[in-house]
């Protein structure tokens, strides 16, 4: 083993990165006393190092987040309507080919029919706008810092400090 962790400990780290709950991670990894196992595991430096390593590998970059919001806000709904109005339920291979990203929930009420809820496109657009403003602000910040430092240098020269 590369890092010396047992398979069950490695599973704990993976589940912890996914759910951010030590108790859930310990239970899913197969520890019988999840609460106490979680407490013991999270105090170990090698476990914390592995969790940090996995976090770095799985980190989502801002471009991926922006792409996801873009798809939610402006994505195509054609496949959703095809699903809604089809006479028979599509088979598994047909479902895999469909773009159903915009769906947040599907229900079949007792009275028949189908209920489909979509993600809020306006909220996705707002988030895209926030991300855009943040990235524009990040680009402008260094320029602002340069102006501020230049002004301070001129002020220092002017007053001889």
Segments making up each domain of the chain, as ranges: 7-58, 62-118
- What rounded mean pLDDT belongs to the chain? 82
DSSP character string of 118-145:
E--HHHHHHHHHHHHHHHHHHHHHHHHH
C-alpha 103/C-alpha 121 separation (Å) is: 11
> Which tokens sit at 59?
């980190």
Measured CA to CA, the distance from residue 158 to residue 161 in angstroms comes to 8
Q: Is the pLDDT of residue 79 over 80?
A: yes
Residue partners of 19: CB distance under 8 A and separation at least 6? 25, 28
Q: Count CB atoms within 10 A of the CB of residue 116.
A: 16
What pLDDT band is residue 1 in, cutting at 50, 70 and 90? very low
Task: Output the pLDDT for position 42.
Answer: 94
Partners of residue 27 on adjacent β-strands: none
Q: Could you tell me which residue, 136 or 70, shows the higher pLDDT?
A: 70
Token look-up 């083993």 returns: 1
Tell me: pLDDT of 153 over 70: no
Instruction: Supply 99's token pair.
Output: 């773009």
Average pLDDT over residues 43-62: 88
Give the range with max mean pLDDT: 2-16, 101-115, 123-137, 147-161: 2-16
Say if residue 121's pLDDT is above 80: yes
């Amino acid at each position: 083993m590369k890092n010396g962790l047992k398979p069950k400990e490695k599973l704990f780290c993976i589940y912890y990165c996914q759910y951010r709950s030590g108790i859930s991670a310990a239970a899913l990894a197969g520890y019988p006393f999840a609460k106490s196992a979680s407490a013991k595991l999270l105090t170990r430096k090698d476990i914390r190092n592995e969790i940090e390593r996995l976090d770095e590998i799985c980190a989502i970059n801002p471009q991926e987040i922006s792409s996801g919001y873009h798809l939610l806000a402006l994505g195509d709904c054609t496949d959703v309507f095809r699903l809604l109005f089809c006479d028979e339920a599509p088979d598994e291979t047909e479902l895999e080919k469909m773009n159903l990203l915009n769906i947040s929930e599907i229900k079949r009420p007792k009275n028949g029919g189908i209920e489909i809820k979509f993600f809020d496109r306006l909220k996705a657009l707002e988030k895209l706008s926030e991300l855009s403003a943040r990235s524009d602000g990040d680009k402008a910040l260094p320029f602002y810092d340069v102006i501020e430092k230049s002004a301070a240098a001129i002020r220092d020269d002017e007053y001889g400090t």
